[in-house]
Chains A and B, each alone.
Chain A
């Protein structure tokens, strides 16, 4: 059961100001590298989220890694500054309880040394040892928790969480907590349907990607979660690259130089999963963020090679949408030294 990553202590680090975030070598190797071939284009890259490979981020349904405690501290800072980052339209409270049950039961089953959940009817006892939480509450009664159910449990879970209501053959983003996002605003997008909140993405609409993805997501059933990977790049390991604060972090996009690219530029991977929630019939959409610095990538020769080729052949519209224009060439030049021109093996995993 337990893989080596579990025995690691949680790192004490920051995702802002002095940016002390760092991956251990094991954490690099277990990252969900998003490219299964040497080029990239939008696709409906959905698969079932189950039977995860040991030693990878897919091993447990809800992954907890060495960054857990520090990521939760960063989330609390974001929410103190801007409470609009967690919102739930009034009809989504039940889905919040569904989310709480799913995350508590998954974590307690996967990591019994860190989390425990005891239920006696509606009386639930939850222990989160890494964060020092020991609470007893009544399931379904908001007054017995310090926050609403969605906020309570997602202050204890890495990654952003969107909760999608299903109506009229579409999915509506009617609740969420969004503090580790790739430049989109929950506050602005809340209430939008699947096509609307994806509206700014170039090329994919024309390719029918979202129509097919929606059809797939509507068929996701209880006990059969699905997942896909997405990616972008970020200067510094900043979790909160929000549009709200773009005027503060935007200047950093111009700070990449050939001298600092290895440690200052990060591949930002999103592990997105999709879970049908039982009581509300809503869909939970967690978006978990993993950072790999350019230097981290070079510790896995196949990944450095592939990243180099993906960046070189990326369509310009996608590069601009992802905000890579300032540093794409610098990254390509840096990674070129690690690309021996040989063919890479199939699939995303290290050789």
Chain B
């Protein structure tokens, strides 16, 4: 977002529908005001939704859960996060049909490997959303095997169960914690034919477990794909000096450092706004206090060095001077 409060390459949209899927998850539909199709996208892509929440301008990433083959609207399915910074709370409470909003063009950090003839997909909770667009895309590719295993707390909190069952048939498997059903990772990971690609999206402990298990079972890294959006968390306000721009700004408790930089009219690069893509990596010139790294991009030694930070998700206790 620039000083004019616009995302780079933003698309103006109108909220056409809000559907309550269950007590935690709502689906939001966005369309162009003139009704023309939105840009095509690829399975696994996300958009960033811009939200004017009181005085705070937010931009949060959400996976598209609609079919890439039908772009009359974009759909995102969002779980209300009562502990979060407020992006999902804002969407759940304030966003109603007819509202005008801005979104970015889709971009994809969880793309299918199109060479594969077999795709094994593991979803946990709201991590089902990117698989909605991926399975829709794969359904158009004859001869490609896609198999989805979807874990959730209870069947009431699962979404799109019927749609996925009709799309995937016997290759769709549901596991509910409350019914004592668990994905048998060892069996799945030891029985896949060579050339299979593995995709996982869900809570961090699930992703970590799958990464560890797949390594134990000898899976090469290039065959294992995961979507690991960190959430920009709230925290104590802190100060940032932007040395290159000659500005000092305060990051509010409910604001990310990247949002505060943008609100100050300083152009900063970004793609995922989830600590995963590396685009917003910024050099730390000095810090008086402590850097609170929350990203999945920097290596541990880079985090320890205190020389780099990812302002889309990470914060600071005290004051930090950035080369921006």
Q: Does B243 contact A (CB under 8 A)?
A: no
Chain A residues with Cβ below 8 Å from B8 are 224
Q: Does B30 contact A (CB under 8 A)?
A: no
Q: Are A219 and B68 in contact (CB under 8 A)?
A: no
Which B residues between 104 and 151 are near A, CB-CB below 8 angstroms? 105-108, 111, 113-115, 137
Q: Does A70 contact B (CB under 8 A)?
A: no
Instruction: Please give the distance in Å from A342's CB to the nearest CB on chain B.
Output: 36
Chain B residues with Cβ below 8 Å from A247 are none
Q: Given A167-B222, A278-B106, A279-B68, is A222 in contact with B39 using a C-beta cutoff of 8 Å? A: yes
Binds A, one of B40-48, B74-82, B198-206, B247-255: B40-48
Q: Does A168 contact B (CB under 8 A)?
A: yes
Q: Does A296 contact B (CB under 8 A)?
A: no
Q: Are B42 and A279 in contact (CB under 8 A)?
A: yes
| Interface membership of chain A positions 258-289, coded 1 if the CB is closer than 8 angstroms to chain B and 0 otherwise | 00000000000000000010111100000000
Q: Does B2 contact A (CB under 8 A)?
A: no
Chain B residues with Cβ below 8 Å from A89 are 115
Instruction: Please give the distance in Å from B250's CB to the nearest CB on chain A.
Output: 29
Q: Does A166 contact B (CB under 8 A)?
A: yes
Q: A222 is contacted by which of B105, B111, B137, B279 (Cβ under 8 Å)?
A: B105
Q: B39 is contacted by which of A91, A94, A165, A223 (Cβ under 8 Å)?
A: A223
Q: Are B40 and A281 in contact (CB under 8 A)?
A: no
CB nearest to B221 among chain A residues: A168
Chain A residues with Cβ below 8 Å from B45 are 281
Q: Are A279 and B279 in contact (CB under 8 A)?
A: no
Give Cα A213 to B232, complex, Å. Answer: 29
What total of chain B residues lie within 8 Å of the partner, measured CB to CB? 22
| Interface membership of chain B positions 87-117, coded 1 if the CB is closer than 8 angstroms to chain A and 0 otherwise | 0000000000000000001111001011100
Q: Does B269 contact A (CB under 8 A)?
A: yes
Instruction: Please give the distance in Å from A232's CB to the nearest CB on chain B.
Output: 32
Chain B residues with Cβ below 8 Å from A222 are 9, 39, 41, 105-107
Instruction: Please give the distance in Å from A100's CB to the nearest CB on chain B.
Output: 12
Q: Does B271 contact A (CB under 8 A)?
A: yes
Chain A residues with Cβ below 8 Å from B9 are 221-224
Q: Given A281-B45, A281-B111, is A221 in contact with B271 using a C-beta cutoff of 8 Å? A: yes
| Interface membership of chain B positions 186-217, coded 1 if the CB is closer than 8 angstroms to chain A and 0 otherwise | 00000000000000000000000000000000
The size class of the interface chain A forms with chain B is 20 to 34
Q: Are B114 and A278 in contact (CB under 8 A)?
A: no
Give Cα A281 to B271, complex, Å. Answer: 14
Give Cα A222 to B106, complex, Å. Answer: 7
CB nearest to A98 among chain B residues: B40
CB nearest to A93 among chain B residues: B114
Chain A residues with Cβ below 8 Å from B107 are 221-222, 276
Give Cα A101 to B40, complex, Å. Answer: 10
Give Cα A199 to B9, complex, Å. Answer: 34
Q: A278 is contacted by which of B42, B115, B222, B279 (Cβ under 8 Å)?
A: B42
Max chain A C-beta neighbours (<10 A), residue from B42, B106, B221:
B42
Give Cα A90 to B9, complex, Å. Answer: 32
Chain A residues with Cβ below 8 Å from B279 are 219
Max chain A C-beta neighbours (<10 A), residue from B41, B107, B113, B114:
B114
Give Cα A242 to B316, complex, Å. Answer: 56
Q: Are A221 and B42 in contact (CB under 8 A)?
A: no
Which A residues between 267 and 320 are near B, CB-CB below 8 angstroms? 276, 278-281
Give Cα A276 to B111, complex, Å. Answer: 13
Chain A residues with Cβ below 8 Å from B42 are 278-281
Give Cα A278 to B279, complex, Å. Answer: 20
Q: Are B40 and A219 in contact (CB under 8 A)?
A: no
Q: Given A278-B40, A278-B42, A281-B42, is A223 in contact with B114 using a C-beta cutoff of 8 Å? A: no
Chain B residues with Cβ below 8 Å from A167 are 113, 222
Chain A residues with Cβ below 8 Å from B221 are 168
Q: Which residues of B contact A (CB under 8 A)?
A: 8-9, 39-42, 45, 68, 105-108, 111, 113-115, 137, 221-222, 269, 271, 279
Please give 17 more A-B residue pairs, beta carbons under 8 A apart, in addition to A94-B114, A224-B9, A278-B106.
A90-B115, A98-B40, A101-B40, A166-B111, A167-B222, A168-B221, A222-B9, A222-B39, A222-B105, A222-B107, A223-B9, A224-B8, A276-B107, A278-B40, A278-B42, A279-B137, A280-B114
Q: Which residues of A contact B (CB under 8 A)?
A: 89-92, 94, 98, 101, 165-168, 219, 221-224, 276, 278-281
Pull 7 A–B residue pairs with CB atoms less than 8 Å apart, ordered by A: A167-B113, A219-B269, A221-B9, A224-B9, A224-B105, A279-B41, A281-B45
Across the A-B interface, the 9 shortest Cβ-Cβ residue pairs:
A278-B40, A91-B114, A222-B105, A281-B42, A91-B115, A281-B111, A281-B108, A168-B222, A279-B40
